[in-house]
Amino acid sequence: MLRIAVPNKGALSGPAAAMLHEAGYRMRKESKELVLVDPTNEVEFFYLRPKDIAIYVSAGKLDIGITGQDLLIDSGADAEVILPLGFARSTFRFAAKPGTVSDIEGLAGKTIATSYEGIVAKHLAESGVDASVVHLDGAVETAIELGVAQVIADVVETGTSLRNAGLEVFGEPIMKSEAVVIRRSGADGDDPKVAQFLRRLQGVLVARSYVMMDYDCRAEHLEKAVALTPGLESPTISPLHNEGWVAVRAMVPAKEAQRIMDDLYELGARAILTTAIHACRL
Ligand SMILES: Nc1ncnc2c1ncn2[C@@H]1O[C@H](COP(=O)(O)OP(=O)(O)OP(=O)(O)O)[C@@H](O)[C@H]1O
Ligand SMILES: O=P(O)(O)OC[C@H]1O[C@H](OP(=O)(O)OP(=O)(O)O)[C@H](O)[C@@H]1O
Ligand SMILES: [Mg+2]
């Protein structure tokens, strides 16, 4: 049985559950379930706090886990990223009241509130800045107004939380993050059960970002049409009953599908269709 740590709550838990469901795994029905066995797929899911997942995985009894890259770094746990998952994308930044602190040197002697002490301490040490760090569990944006700190370091996605608190980011982003699959550093890289799990998630990532495109075009336009839809390996070309026409089938990036359909139409292609891909193994 493959033993997998998954986030039990917070920003990562919903999207992680959705991705696992799309990959064909059983999901818990009730948010109080701590462990779920999926015998058909030979996996066991452990629902854990996102911040703790890297620590559990590095301890060795769980094979892999889904967490945030920032949480992995913050924990200092001996685990490594094996697959980025493309959701829960965020940056990690310093922020303060406008006109107070505006660069990293200005942090000297200040108090910084954060839920990510590990990342902040590492960054301050690397920058050679001496500042105090106070740990808060969440809602860090309020810490300045309530006199706990002069600066915060927190996850920023849209910036809405900072704006609502009247704060402004300063300095370069401390790090970028997204959800990732991790394993213990130095774990067996060839474990077939892990490889199969990763292939399933990669299948979901591809299915989400590509569509299947079908169209008919005149044989003399085929080269130009294929240049627009080269597919992943090579498009499938089938003869049509009408002489001089062919049918083309290729995967295209979903984001570019509408532009490609316009270009194909201009070229004389017709019956241009896109269909969603539900799963795949490349
Ligand atoms: N608004 C957001 N947009 C994108 N990613 C986010 C957002 N908030 C948190 N994350 C990411 O989610 C992970 C944090 O998950 P966690 O569950 O600890 O946070 P949370 O949703 O703020 O929950 P909590 O309420 O327990 O603090 C981190 O990897 C972080 O970068
Ligand atoms: O830039 P934004 O789009 O506003 O997103 C970032 C905010 O989202 C998260 O907070 P959450 O809602 O999880 O509350 P928390 O502070 O209690 O963690 C994060 O901690 C930031 O506060
Ligand atoms: Mg939070």
Which domains are assigned to the chain? Answer: 2-87+178-187 (3.40.190.10), 90-176 (3.40.190.10), 211-276 (3.30.70.120)
**pLDDT at position 190, please?**
87
From the CA of 138, the nearest ligand is 2
Is the dihedral angle over the CA atoms 30, 1, 58, 196 positive or is it negative? negative
For the Cβ of 72 lying below 6 angstroms from any atom of ligand 1, the answer is no
Residue to probe by mutation, ligand 2, list 94, 115, 116, 155, most atoms within 8 Å of CB? 155
**pLDDT at position 87, please?**
97
User: Using CA atoms, how far apart are residues 131 and 159, in angstroms rounded to an integer?
Assistant: 24
For the Cβ of 9 lying below 6 angstroms from any atom of ligand 2, the answer is no
From the CA of 160, the nearest ligand is 2
Contacts for 26 with CB less than 8 Å, ≥ 6 apart: 36, 38, 40, 41
For the Cβ of 155 lying below 6 angstroms from any atom of ligand 2, the answer is yes
**pLDDT at position 158, please?**
97
Segments of the chain assigned E as strands: 2-7, 35-38, 43-48, 64-68, 79-84, 90-96, 111-114, 132-135, 151-156, 168-177, 179-184, 210-218, 236-239, 245-253, 270-276
**pLDDT at position 7, please?**
98
Query: Within 13 Å and on the Cβ side, how many CA atoms surround 121?
Result: 11
For the Cβ of 156 lying below 6 angstroms from any atom of ligand 1, the answer is no
Sequence-distant contacts of 190-198: CB under 8 A, at least 24 apart: 191/63, 193/2, 193/42, 193/63, 194/2, 194/63, 194/64, 194/82, 197/2, 197/4, 197/43, 197/64, 198/82, 198/83
**pLDDT at position 282, please?**
85
User: Using CA atoms, how far apart are residues 133 and 122, in angstroms rounded to an integer?
Assistant: 11
**pLDDT at position 188, please?**
83
User: How far is ligand 1, taken at its centre, from the CA of residue 51, in Å?
Assistant: 10
Helix axes 13-22, 192-209, angle to 10 degrees: 100
User: Using CA atoms, how far apart are residues 271 and 213, in angstroms rounded to an integer?
Assistant: 10
Structure ipTM: 0.95
User: Using CA atoms, how far apart are residues 269 and 185, in angstroms rounded to an integer?
Assistant: 51
User: Using CA atoms, how far apart are residues 79 and 61, in angstroms rounded to an integer?
Assistant: 13
**pLDDT at position 106, please?**
96
- Index of the ligand 2 atom closest to the CA of residue 157: 1
**pLDDT at position 174, please?**
97
Mean pLDDT by 10 residues, the chain (282 residues): 97 97 94 95 98 97 97 98 97 97 96 98 96 96 97 98 97 97 92 96 96 98 97 96 96 98 98 96 88
